[in-house]
Amino acid sequence: MAEHISYADAGVDVDEGARAVDLIRDAVASTDRPGVMEGLGGFGCLFDVSYLKGLERPVLVSGTDGVGTKLALAQRLGRHDTVGEDLVAMCADDVVVTGAQPLFFLDYIAVGKLQPEAVAEVVQGIAAGCREAGCALIGGEMAEHPGVMAPTDYDLAGFCVGAVDAPAMLGANRVREGDVILGLPSSGIHSNGYSLVRAAVTDRLTDEQLTEPRGDLGGESLADALLRPTRIYAGAVVRALEDGAPIHALAHITGGGITENLNRVLPSDLDALVDAGDGTTPPWEVPPIIDFVIDAASLTPEEAYKTLNMGVGMAVVCDPDDVDQVSEAFDAEGLEPFLIGEVVSGTGTVRYR
């Protein structure tokens, strides 16, 4: 007779999966918004978009992303409460740059061995991010991968869908020579560049060194500074646009830094001329953790602006006559925009002065 091997024996415990769902149920419900038709438990997630009939030409905007190798640090230190916010930020802020309102969000969590409490921490972070972005967490998937992933490993993917009226869409077609470029402050490194961070910083330090307060970080530990969640701009952007802020384009500064993201909202005959200060220190405030990583990795200015966000989480392009109105809209959200450059004649690239 063949040996009896249960699914749990093979490494997948469906009872623990059910317990994990119970632990996240309240967090998911806290993101409810108009349009949500069904909670957890269905095979498909339902969202009523009948309000789109009121738009002249409704367009759905979707985005998907992950958190990258920042997860390795979170797993190493056993801190799972912030990476969910990172996941929402990476997806919702890609969607909102078109002027779209994020509507709903789904997550995919792959684990080596399901640990319901850790998963609940992650999902609570996702729910917090969704509340900040104004979208509903309407579903997702938890999958155990025994033998493929180490028991304590997990990976995250997120999926966000939003909607915008085509005549109101933001983008390169609205950008004009002479436009001003404002920056919205980042909260730190956000969720890009962590392979460099690990190679230059965390892989060289003990857990004790990572968690001790540091004077060069204003008394903060490296662990706290590096795991600070990505700032979410989507909710603030949607409210600013609803209040009539005349924005031409938005650029989410993620992987590739300012150099490889600001150019994505430029026409082919215009450049972004960014003020880089003395080359290594821009004329706006940069979070200390970014300067720390630049020094630890001995990055050149060119490398820094092409790898890290340099204190700019979102770039806002507008007419120079509208700077005060746009700035006031974001000031009301506690974001305090600052001038980073202007749009000039060129070939669709980012240049520094």
Question: 5: burial class by Cβ within 10 Å (0-12, 13-18, 19+)?
Answer: exposed
DSSP letter assigned to residue 266: S
Task: Calculate mean pLDDT across residues 72-90.
Answer: 95
* DSSP element (H, E) containing 240: helix 234-242
| β pairing state of 350-352 and 338-345 | unpaired
Q: Do residues 97 and 261 lie in contact, with contact meaning Cβ atoms separated by under 8 Å? A: no
Going by C-alpha positions, the residue among 336, 329, 289, 323 that lies closest to residue 309 is 289
pLDDT of residue 29: 84
Q: How far is CA 179 from the centre of its chain?
A: 26
Check residues 322 and 6 and name the one with the higher pLDDT: 322
The CA–CA distances, whole Å, from 257 to 61, 315, 350 equal 23, 11, 11
At 30-76, the pLDDT tens digits run 888 888 887 677 788 888 999 888 899 999 999 999 999 999 999 99
Question: 18: burial class by Cβ within 10 Å (0-12, 13-18, 19+)?
Answer: exposed
- Asked whether residue 316 carries a pLDDT value surpassing 70, the answer given is yes
Kindly compute the dihedral angle of the four CA atoms of residues 29, 33, 38, 39, in this order, to the nearest 10 degrees.
-10
- Asked whether residue 7 carries a pLDDT value surpassing 90, the answer given is no
pLDDT of residue 265: 97
pLDDT of residue 32: 87
